């Protein structure tokens, strides 16, 4: 296949050397065709693009129509073909098992090619979906890249989700195969995956779907005991032993690469669709221009492959750039101590570290002086990147002092796939401002709008919107529903994508993100629907109605807190009720929700039409000024709630 590709391009070449950021950004908006066709030269194509963006079906846009490529080839084979097959591609570092394993580009390519053969033998072909439910082990990256190799569409589900959430994704994606392991490992426990998969298959009426299982030491079950009629349970190692390697197939740039589900305010997950061509171009460009990481350099992204950061900057981004990526199975603290990131930086000579503010706050809480991190040789580190939630200035300044490097906040979403706003380190960077993720990345036109859709002056808060078309690498639609995509993101303001966040842009063009405008909360970087949690709580026989709020948390950014009205005549101890509700949420949504607080109240504030005034409750809990809505049914309810919602006592 290498001979068919447009040769002569190095994934890690310097992008637009010497160009000024602001001029580049202006050019990307004024002439996106020229800008992104230039960026596309860093990708190896089978049919090179002659057109960047197709707006014939606006507000739905397609990037690089008519072009074709293979993402797995771009991430692996071309680096081997260029003579760098012996370079480390993926370093697996498990603090849970105290093991390290390095896969070179040639070794990773070979493992991916053989596992692609396993999937092909199961009948998986171009366009079929494969659900990946794996912990942080190399097989997760192998499975993703194997899907890309044969043109299948992977949908990775975070291992912390419970069977009901897994089943919802099975029902929507209808995969032709499932790839999983017998369990994940946490510091204090082992999490069995196969019972969850089995239950989800039953809930989704998908019992005939073949399941490939990677057996892990310490579980001892594997596929034994899961051979009920109608489902094929296959052992990963046994399947690989008899499979044949397959070459990468040609896919259209506009063909889907993956589906990644994100919480919706209705509780129904939304399947964000990422294409092949735009994704490859945008991530390749971002690795050099934003993260300043190229061939042979090492990036550690301390996230999970189940989230968008893991997709973009554990697996695809570093490999597309020809870099070395560290896949870390462990925690920022407790595995074994708060110096875990320092050890990783020292041992793997990490140039760029990317993590969430929650991790940084956890390290600060456990090691206020930063001594455990400073005990390691940090000389290789040049930049710390942070995203997933708002990075407070205190934590930013503290970790910057500990590491002795710039701390670069960046803001983006599952939907966009790469940073909307960031500090472009590979383009020389721009001055940092505390509390801001800096400036809009090239290709993004960030506008602050008032409720009527008009731009507001600098410094004024409003809805953060992105003028269409979005740049390559962003979502193209929602799986199976263009209409839902339009309704969820494009209907509020004509010609704009609505981010769901509020904020303002200052006189210098720096964005400041203030918070969500919907009922999706951010717990330790994980977006969760309060509506989905409310649906679980409402199933309790003693609960008449409830509201779940995202309260500020010093470590995790936000935490979910429930306010519950009991059915008349119910005589249940509040502590018992709270324990039962916590268990229900944990079982249905998963530990990732981190739901721990349920407060019994006499009533919830409502409008006369019966709508619960959640925004007012959030304002009260945050300690910010609020106006009593004129539509409120009974103002005295707010007075009764106020002591329970004060920032010092709420939850």
- List pLDDT tens digits, range 216-241: 987 766 777 676 656 689 999 999 99
In terms of CATH architecture, what is 520-645?
A: 2-Layer Sandwich (3.30)
Structural domain boundaries in the chain:
520-645
Strand, coil or helix: what is 401?
helix
* Whole-number Å distance between alpha carbons of 324 and 473: 21
Nearest residue to 605 (alpha-carbon basis) of 593, 619, 585, 591: 619
At 187, the pLDDT band (50, 70, 90 cuts) reads confident
- Name the least confident of 143-152, 362-371, 454-463, 626-635: 626-635
The pLDDT of residue 610 is 60
- List pLDDT tens digits, range 424-451: 999 988 999 988 999 999 999 999 999 8
| CB-CB contact of 326 with 318 (8 Å) | no
* Whole-number Å distance between alpha carbons of 472 and 354: 22
- pLDDT at residue 38 greater than cutoff 90: yes
Nearest residue to 214 (alpha-carbon basis) of 137, 117, 105, 130: 137
Query: Which has the higher per-residue pLDDT, 597 or 245?
Result: 245
- How much is the mean pLDDT over the chain? 90
Q: pLDDT > 70: what percent of the chain?
A: 92
Could you tell me where the beta strands, DSSP code E, fall in 586-625?
Answer: 597-600
| CB-CB contact of 368 with 314 (8 Å) | no
- List pLDDT tens digits, range 343-368: 999 999 999 999 998 899 889 988 99
Q: What average pLDDT does the segment 9-37 reach?
A: 73
- List pLDDT tens digits, range 583-627: 999 888 888 888 888 999 988 888 655 668 887 888 888 888 887
The pLDDT of residue 308 is 95
* Whole-number Å distance between alpha carbons of 317 and 320: 5
The position carrying tokens 């950021």 is 21
At 1, the pLDDT band (50, 70, 90 cuts) reads very low
Q: What average pLDDT does the segment 181-207 reach?
A: 91
* Whole-number Å distance between alpha carbons of 350 and 291: 12
- pLDDT at residue 72 greater than cutoff 60: yes
* Whole-number Å distance between alpha carbons of 651 and 647: 9
The pLDDT of residue 67 is 98
The pLDDT of residue 609 is 52
- Which contacts of 342-347 are long-range, i.e. CB under 8 A and separated by 24 or more positions? 342/372, 342/373, 342/374, 342/375, 342/376, 342/378, 343/376, 344/93, 344/300, 345/300, 345/376, 345/377, 345/378, 345/380, 345/381, 346/376, 346/377, 346/378, 346/380, 347/93, 347/100
* Whole-number Å distance between alpha carbons of 162 and 591: 8
Residues 6+ apart with CB under 8 A from 509: 439, 440
The pLDDT of residue 10 is 39
Most confident of 66-80, 266-280, 359-373, 552-566: 66-80
For 618, list phi and psi in degrees, rounded to 5: -65, -40
Residues forming beta bridges with residue 212, ordered by sequence position: 179, 234
At 644, the pLDDT band (50, 70, 90 cuts) reads confident
The pLDDT of residue 220 is 67
Q: What angle do CA 563, 569, 571 make, to 5 degrees?
A: 70
For the CA atoms of 479, 484, 489, 495, the dihedral, rounded to the nearest 10 degrees, stands at 110
Render 207-255 in DSSP notation, one character per residue. Answer: TTS-EEEE--TTT--TTTT---TT--EEEHHHHHHT----PPPPEETTS
At 647, the pLDDT band (50, 70, 90 cuts) reads low
Residues forming beta bridges with residue 511, ordered by sequence position: 505
- List pLDDT tens digits, range 371-406: 999 999 999 999 999 998 778 888 899 999 999 999
């Amino acid at each position: 296949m290498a001979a068919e590709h447009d040769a002569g391009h190095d994934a890690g070449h310097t992008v637009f050397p010497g160009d000024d950021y602001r001029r580049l950004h202006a050019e990307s908006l004024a002439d996106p065709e020229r800008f992104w066709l230039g960026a596309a030269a860093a990708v190896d194509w089978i049919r090179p693009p002659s057109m960047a963006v197709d707006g014939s079906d606006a507000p739905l846009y397609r990037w690089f129509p008519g072009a074709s490529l293979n993402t797995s080839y771009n991430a692996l084979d071309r680096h081997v073909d260029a003579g760098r097959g012996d370079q480390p591609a993926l370093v697996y570092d498990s603090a849970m098992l105290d093991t390290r394993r390095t896969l070179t580009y040639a070794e990773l390519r070979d493992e991916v090619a053989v596992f692609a053969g396993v999937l092909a033998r199961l009948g998986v072909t171009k366009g079929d979906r494969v659900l990946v439910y794996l912990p942080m082990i190399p097989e997760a990256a192998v499975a993703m890249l194997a899907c890309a190799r044969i043109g299948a569409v992977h949908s990775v589900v975070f291992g912390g989700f419970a069977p009901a959430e897994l089943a919802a994704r099975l029902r929507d994606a209808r995969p032709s195969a499932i790839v999983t392991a017998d369990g994940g490992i946490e510091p204090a426990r082992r999490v069995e995956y196969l019972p969850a998969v089995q239950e989800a298959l039953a809930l989704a009426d998908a019992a005939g779907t073949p399941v490939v299982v990677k057996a892990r030491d310490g579980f001892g079950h594997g596929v034994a005991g899961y051979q009920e009629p109608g489902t094929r349970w296959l052992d990963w190692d046994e399947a690989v032993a008899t499979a044949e390697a397959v070459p990468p197939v040609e896919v259209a740039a506009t063909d889907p690469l993956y589906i990644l589900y994100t919480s919706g305010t209705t509780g129904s997950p939304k399947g964000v669709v990422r294409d092949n061509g735009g994704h490859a171009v945008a991530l390749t460009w971002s690795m050099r221009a934003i993260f300043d990481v190229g061939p042979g350099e090492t990036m550690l992204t301390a996230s999970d492959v189940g989230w968008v950061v893991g997709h973009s900057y554990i697996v695809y981004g570093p490999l597309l750039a020809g870099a070395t990526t560290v896949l870390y199975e462990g925690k920022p603290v407790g595995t074994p101590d708060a110096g875990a990131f320092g050890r990783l930086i020292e041992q793997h000579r990490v140039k760029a570290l990317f993590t969430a503010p929650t991790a940084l706050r956890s390290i600060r809480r456990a090691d206020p002086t930063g001594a455990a991190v400073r005990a390691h040789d940090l000389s290789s580190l040049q930049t710390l990147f942070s995203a997933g939630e708002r990075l407070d200035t205190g934590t930013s300044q503290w970790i910057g002092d500990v590491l002795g490097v710039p701390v670069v906040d960046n803001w983006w979403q599952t939907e966009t796939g790469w940073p909307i706003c960031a500090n472009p380190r590979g383009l020389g960077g721009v001055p940092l401002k505390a509390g801001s993720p800096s400036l809009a990345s090239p290709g993004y036109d960030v506008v602050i709008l008032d409720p009527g859709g008009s731009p507001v002056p600098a410094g004024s808060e409003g809805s953060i919107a992105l003028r269409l078309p979005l740049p390559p690498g962003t979502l193209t639609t929602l799986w199976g529903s263009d209409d839902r995509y339009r309704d969820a993101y494009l209907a509020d303001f004509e010609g704009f994508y609505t981010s769901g966040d509020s904020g303002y842009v200052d006189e210098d063009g720096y964005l400041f993100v203030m918070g969500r405008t919907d009922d999706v909360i951010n717990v330790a970087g994980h977006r969760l629907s309060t509506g989905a949690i409310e649906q679980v709580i409402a199933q309790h026989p003693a609960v008449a109605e409830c509201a779940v709020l995202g309260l500020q948390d010093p470590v995790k950014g936000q935490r979910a807190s429930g306010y519950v009205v009991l059915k008349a005549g119910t005589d249940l101890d509040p502590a018992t009720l709270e324990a039962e509700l916590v268990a229900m949420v944990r079982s249905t949504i998963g530990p990732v929700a981190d739901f721990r607080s349920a407060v019994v109240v006499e009533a919830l504030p409502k409008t006369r039409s019966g709508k619960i005034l959640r925004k007012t409750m959030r304002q009260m809990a945050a300690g910010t000024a609020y106006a009593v809505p004129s539509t409120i049914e009974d103002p005295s309810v707010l007075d009764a709630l106020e002591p329970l919602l004060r920032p010092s006592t709420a939850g």
